[in-house]
A and B are shown apart, each in its own frame.
Chain A
Amino acid sequence: MARFLVRIDENACKGCELCRNFCPKKLITVSAHINDKGYSPAEISREEECIGCMSCALMCPDGAISIYEEVSE
């Protein structure tokens, strides 16, 4: 099964939680620490379960989320 990597630029995140709300696998959580802007940024948990649907990235208003697929050479 394909493996996806979700990269969240925590200093671009404004902590709106739309990504957390729309992740069908509920893999995104809110971090306990505070970023440079003073928001609690989103972070990914259980990344290995990501299905690469891009829902989080499509809904992110601040372009904080990039998604990569691991492919063999």
Chain B
Amino acid sequence: MLKPIFEYTKGMLRVETNFCPGCTHGISHRLITETLDEMGKLGEAIGCGPIGCAVMAHKFMNVDMCECAHGRAPAVASGVKRVHPDNLVFTYQGDGDLASIGTAEIIHAAARGECFSTFFVNNAIYGMTGGQMAPTTLPGQRSTTSQTGRDTGKSGFPIRVCELLSTLDGAVYVERVALNSPAGVAKAKKAVRRAFDVQEKKLGFSFVEFVSACPTNWGLSPVAAVDFIKEKMLPYYPPGVFKSPQ
């Protein structure tokens, strides 16, 4: 007899994703829907999708979702959560969406202590639009708008969103995880679960950052991209729990 020890979650629809080979969006999508499935909340969860590579998330995740204007997912999620206080509400956002155009929304949603969870995919570049410099692009990292590497004298410094949000009293759970190894993925799944648990207990705003890979726009193979996460991204974006409820 065959006992399944790993099967693709029914939280993901069996359709082909628009992600490039080796893009870790597929992993973070799966972790969120797998966790909702394990909690038995697939039918009750409401997702707020971003603009960016994950713009089609509503076609891949087997949960009710709404699509929000660029960066405004936290504002939409605040409204959804206030109308449906007993449903699990989450936003799924990339770094261009959350850390650039949606900076005000995410900071104020966290400051108000809105009771939803945000999953932030940080791949240090604008993916969908063709690899432009993002607020999270590392110093010296090349992109199509910083072709000789990000010059911090001209373009400033990358934003560490977890550290920023953890200073706000409304944010009760803030963690950064890295999707660069099976151990990292296992840790990320625990973080997703904790974020939803915090929300279920109505403690306040919960936030998980996935340090992710963008092999296509980094110009690396998928395997080299996960090495890049470890060697270049993690020294700047150290994983860890920045804030956790007592």
- Which residues does A use to contact B, with CB under 8 Å? 4-5, 12, 14-18, 21-22, 37, 39, 52-55, 57-63, 65-73
Contacts and interface: CB of A to CB of B under 8 A. Distances in A.
Contact of A37 (B1, B16, B22, B26): B16
Interface stretch (B6-14, B63-71, B89-97): B6-14
B185 A18 contact: no
6 contacts: A16-B222, A18-B226, A39-B21, A59-B182, A61-B21, A62-B26
A65 B223 CA distance: 18
Closest 6 pairs between A and B when the two form their complex, measured CB to CB: A61-B26, A16-B22, A63-B8, A14-B21, A16-B21, A16-B222
Nearest to A59: B182
Contact of A69 (B2, B21, B26, B186): B2
A17 B226 CA distance: 11
B241 interface: no
A68 B5 contact: yes
Contacts of A21: 223, 226
Interface string B167-186: 00000000000000110011
Given A22-B181, A61-B19, A70 B2 contact: yes
